[in-house]
Amino acid sequence: MPLAAYLLVATLLFGVGLYGLLQRRSLVAILISIELMLAAVSINVVALTTLSGGDPSLGLVVSLVLVGVAAAETAVALSLFVAIERHSRSIDVEDLSELKG
Amino acid sequence: MNWAGAVFGLSAAVALLGAVLAVGLRNIFHNILGFALAILGVSGVLLSLGHDFLAIVFVLIYIGALAVAMVYAVMLSHSLGGGRTPRRRAKILGAAAFAATATAAIWLVVRNAEWSPAGGRRELEAAWAGYRFLTDYVLVFELISVLLVVAMVGAVMVARRARPGKEG
Does B165 map to a domain?
Answer: no
Q: Distance (Å, rounded) from C-alpha A45 to C-alpha A29?
A: 25
Does A95 map to a domain?
Answer: no
- Residue range(s) defining the domain that contains residue A85: 3-89
Beta-carbon neighbour count of residue A44 at 10 Å? 21
- What digits encode the pLDDT tens for the residues B4-40? 788 899 999 999 999 999 998 888 889 999 999 999 9
What's the mean pLDDT when you consider all of chain B?
Answer: 85
Terminal Cα distance for chain A, rounded: 52
Does A96 map to a domain?
Answer: no
Q: Distance (Å, rounded) from C-alpha B129 to C-alpha B140?
A: 13
| ipTM for the whole complex | 0.91
Identify all chain B residues contacting A91, using CB atoms and an 8 Å cutoff. Answer: 77, 79, 82
Residue type, B113: A
**What is the pTM for the complete model shown?**
0.89
- What digits encode the pLDDT tens for the residues A9-62? 999 999 999 999 999 888 899 999 999 999 999 999 998 888 876 677 788 889
Identify all chain A residues contacting B114, using CB atoms and an 8 Å cutoff. Answer: none
| CA atoms lying within 13 Å on the CB side of residue B144 | 17
Does B86 map to a domain?
Answer: yes
For residues B62-67, average pLDDT: 93
CA A34 to chain centre: 3
Query: Domain holding A56: CATH number?
Result: 1.10.287.3510
* Chain pair A-B, CB pairs under 8 angstroms: 232
